[in-house]
Amino acid sequence: MTYWETKTINTARGNFEVFVKGEGNPICITHHYSEFNHTGDYFADSLTENNTVYLVNLKEAGNSSETQEAHELSMFDAAFDLEAIREALGYAKWTFAGHSTGGMIGVLYGIHFSTSLTSLIIVGSAARKYANSSSECIYHPDHPHFDRMQQLIETLKRSDLTPCERERFSKERTKLSLFHPDK
């Protein structure tokens, strides 16, 4: 397994822990409530073969800056943070890719900073009912598979997994999120 290189990007909006892998055109990826580490991310890994991927820990995730105000944890502020990171890295433009809440951040980033984007990749970001409103959501504590999902999320953060184990756990986690996993 090839680990992701860890960097700290210093911006006027704070310092951000970023994991970098691949060569080619720059792509930024983040998620609203996830903490990434040097093992990367299944979604991000799929884009590293032909691109330089920057996997960003937003404020209060990993070793990124703490917040001073509650609004700094909003998706809106996240878009401004990503723009500051792009500028600090020296790119005139890059691609943003996101899934789930990362894709929602991508929509805001695209609205406010479209001139900074070469393209926008958004996958599975139209949640019908989310964790706080429905026990049908895998992230709601009353969902029958909630505990297993939480175990898988924590397991996938481990750096000692073999590539085969990581793939097996990633597939299981993905299937728990699907309405018809058999399809």
Hey, where are the domains in the chain?
5-126, 129-183
Confidence at residue 171, expressed as pLDDT on a 0 to 100 scale = 84
In Å, how far are 53, 99, 162, 166 from 169, measured between CA atoms? 22, 18, 11, 5
Confidence at residue 125, expressed as pLDDT on a 0 to 100 scale = 77
- The average pLDDT across 7-23 equals 96
Banded model confidence at residue 25, pLDDT cuts 50, 70, 90: very high
pLDDT 10s digits, 54-112: 999 999 999 999 999 999 999 999 999 999 999 999 999 999 999 888 889 999 999 99
Average pLDDT value over all residues in the chain? 89
Whether the predicted pLDDT of 129 surpasses 60: no
Task: Specify the higher pLDDT residue, 65 or 34.
Answer: 65
Whether the predicted pLDDT of 177 surpasses 80: no
Residue type, 129: K
Q: Is 81 helix (H, G, I), strand (E, B) or coil?
A: helix
Residue % of the chain over a pLDDT of 90: 56
Residue % of the chain over a pLDDT of 70: 95
| pTM of the complete model | 0.75
Confidence at residue 40, expressed as pLDDT on a 0 to 100 scale = 87
Q: For strand 5-11 and strand 14-21, is the pairing parallel, antiparallel, or unpaired?
A: antiparallel
Confidence at residue 139, expressed as pLDDT on a 0 to 100 scale = 79
Banded model confidence at residue 132, pLDDT cuts 50, 70, 90: low
Whether the predicted pLDDT of 166 surpasses 90: no
Superfamily of segment(s) 5-126: Alpha/Beta hydrolase fold, catalytic domain (3.40.50.1820)
Half-sphere exposure of 57 (CA within 13 A, CB side): 22
98: β partners: 122
Confidence at residue 130, expressed as pLDDT on a 0 to 100 scale = 59
Q: Do residues 116 and 136 lie in contact, with contact meaning Cβ atoms separated by under 8 Å?
A: no
Banded model confidence at residue 163, pLDDT cuts 50, 70, 90: confident
Task: Specify the higher pLDDT residue, 2 or 101.
Answer: 101
